[in-house]
């Protein structure tokens, strides 16, 4: 007996993350892409713009009314910050109660929404149909800090470097390959939204310094942690291996991971564990693909859980 198809709508499909989501949904055993919106491409065939999509599905206008009347079982909102509210209001007014996964920061501080970083918040999922997807930087920061959270002494410092795809598709200095060539661009060095997000979620102060580099995709996150007591390197590594022993999308490695090795992959690498001579300062490095585990892959984990499917269904591990 075949299982029923779950229809998924994607709002804001033009961006890099939208393209990854279409590929993942297209390869999923139960999900079907039933609605795709884009102001720029409205009326055009999705297959003409994305190799992973077949058939006659066409882009629809991105108005809240169009989204609310599409009749999908689930929606992924892949839009810039401060845009989701009008779509949520329209869906509420329609009274259909679909599963909603929002990729923006709009609901990451809202206690009525489930914050979907499964490796750390899975036990808090209890059938919620409103899911806030963590930020890409915030995912890497939380995963690299969490195993040491109970022994941190003072704020943790995180130095992040992202490929320019993280700046989206709207033209700016931070996604212009010509400007970024042979360059490293610091920005928002205090008070970045992901700094506040991680500090809020972990309940511990984090100081975050983001940078954009000339590569297209992938994040390197170097975390500097002062510790309440002396640790050996073996004890630190054991903590990380124990914490993530049953997590296929978090891999503990010995050497510092390279961002080039994570591009196109769905997991996070954590390694490069280095201790100061007195054993009370730890530096560790996490790498992830910002478009995948930092966005699209995590959205699929959350959708799978919302429909009581295996969490990694449709995710090539």
Nearest CA among 256, 303, 295 for reference residue 133: 295
Instruction: Please name the residues in contact with 81: beta carbons below 8 A apart, sequence gap of 6 or more.
Output: 104, 105, 106, 193
Residues 127 and 140: their CA atoms lie apart, in Å, by: 25
The DSSP result for 170-185, as a single string, is: S--GGG-HHHHTT--E
Residues 122 and 228: their CA atoms lie apart, in Å, by: 28
3-state secondary structure string across 211-244:
EECCCCCCEEEEEEEEECCCCCHHHHHHHHHHHC
The residue count for the chain: 317
Residue showing tokens 């929404």: 113
Choosing from 21, 72, 136, 180, the catalytic residue is 136
Residues 86 and 22: their CA atoms lie apart, in Å, by: 23
Residue 158 annotated among the catalytic residues of the structure: no
Q: What residues act catalytically? A: 136
């Amino acid at each position: 007996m075949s299982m029923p198809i779950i229809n998924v709508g994607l709002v804001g499909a033009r961006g890099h993350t939208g393209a990854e989501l279409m590929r993942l949904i297209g390869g999923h055993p139960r999900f079907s892409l039933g609605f795709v919106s884009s102001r720029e491409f409205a009326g055009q065939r999705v297959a003409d713009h994305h190799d992973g999509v077949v058939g006659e599905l066409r882009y629809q206008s991105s108005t809240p009314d169009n989204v609310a009347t599409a009749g999908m079982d689930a929606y992924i909102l892949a839009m810039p910050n401060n845009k989701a509210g009008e779509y949520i209001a329209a869906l509420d007014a329609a009274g259909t109660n679909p599963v909603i996964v929002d990729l923006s920061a709009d609901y990451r501080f809202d206690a009525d929404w489930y914050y979907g970083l499964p490796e750390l918040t899975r036990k808090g999922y209890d059938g919620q149909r409103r899911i806030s997807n963590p930020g890409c930087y915030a995912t890497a920061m939380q995963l690299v800090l969490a195993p040491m959270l109970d022994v941190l002494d003072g704020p943790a410092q995180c130095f992040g470097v992202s490929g320019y795809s993280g700046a989206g598709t709207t033209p700016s200095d931070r996604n212009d390959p010509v400007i970024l060539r042979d360059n490293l661009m610091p920005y928002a060095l205090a008070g970045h939204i992901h700094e506040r997000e991680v500090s809020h979620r972990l309940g511990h102060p984090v100081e975050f310094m983001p940078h954009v580099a000339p590569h297209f995709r992938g994040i390197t996150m170097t975390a500097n942690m002062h510790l309440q007591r002396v640790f050996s390197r073996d004890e630190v590594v054991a903590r990380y291996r124990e914490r993530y022993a049953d997590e296929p999308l978090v891999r503990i490695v010995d050497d510092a991971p390279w961002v080039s090795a994570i591009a196109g992959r769905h997991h996070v690498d954590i390694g490069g564990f280095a201790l100061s001579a007195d054993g009370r300062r730890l530096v560790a490095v996490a790498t992830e693909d910002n478009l995948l585990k930092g966005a699209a892959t995590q959205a699929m984990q959350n959708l799978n859980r919302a429909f009581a499917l295996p969490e990694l269904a449709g995710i090539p591990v």
